[in-house]
Amino acid sequence: MMDFEGSPSSGVVEFGVVILENGEIRETHTALCKPTGSISERDREVHGISEQTTRSKQPFSDAYEQFTAFRREGVFAAHNRHAENSFLKKTWAVPPAVPDWRGNNETAQEWGPWIDTLSIYRVLYRGLESYGLGELVDAFNLRASLEELSLERCPEGRQSAHCALYDALASALLLLRLESEDSLRGRISIPWLLELSDQADAQQELF
């Protein structure tokens, strides 16, 4: 599960990655990144990251080996994958040959396919007032767990919404809680989650 903070003008200025294994959080990674352009005042007000605090950091483009290793190890996931996929493709067009993860034992040269908790929750829980990350966390009573995890895992001062690892942890909790649904037991698999992620996009294209 991953989340990026940034914009088209600044590029990625922070990333957060949560690696899940066997229904648990195995490890987390996060870093501030030197921007490729300017950070606007509006963006700084959203994510709280300034050019001054990132001036000495490595640019996101230096993390290529790290992210290709993540991609070889498992399928990528995000809440609204289109933003994260766009950041990756703008920085590096394609990774080297990596597992496809669609259950066909083939390889691919793409950052996807993506598991998308936004799409999955739109399909499984129709009629909610909002599918925003924070609203879903509250709707499914995950706030206390998120706050506890953020204190354990997130850097000091980066333990709130629009901080990359905090938001990645929120998305991870939404994905993990699906296992607690009686109606979904025995159905959850990577191919099934990928299918649901694509299904929401297909439905939106019809309207």
Alpha carbon of 64 to those of 8, 59, 71, 143, 169: distances in Å?
19, 10, 11, 32, 22
Say what the pTM is.
Answer: 0.94
pLDDT above 90 (res 179)? yes
Domains along the chain with CATH numbers: 2-205 (3.30.420.10)
pLDDT above 90 (res 14)? yes
Is residue 201 very low, low, confident or very high in pLDDT (cuts 50, 70, 90)?
low
For residue 114, the one-letter residue type is W
- Write the pLDDT tens digit of every residue in 111-144: 999 999 999 999 999 999 999 999 999 999 999 9
Give the bridge partners for 25, in sequence order.
Answer: 20
Strand 114-116 versus strand 76-78 pairing type:
parallel
pLDDT above 60 (res 207)? no
End-to-end CA distance of the chain: 29
Percentage of the residues of the chain whose pLDDT score is greater than 70: 96
Residue 164: which of 58, 5, 1 has the closest Cα?
Answer: 5
pLDDT above 90 (res 165)? yes
Radius of gyration, alpha carbons of the chain: 17
pLDDT above 70 (res 183)? yes
Residue 200 has a pLDDT of 64
Cβ burial of 87 (10 Å; 0-12, 13-18, 19+) is: buried
pLDDT above 50 (res 206)? no
Strand 24-32 versus strand 114-116 pairing type:
unpaired
Average model confidence (pLDDT) across the chain = 94
Residue 14: which of 64, 69, 54, 45 has the closest Cα?
Answer: 54
**Interacting residues of 165 by C-beta distance below 8 A, sequence separation 6+:** 3, 16, 17, 18, 28, 29, 30, 150, 153, 154, 155, 158
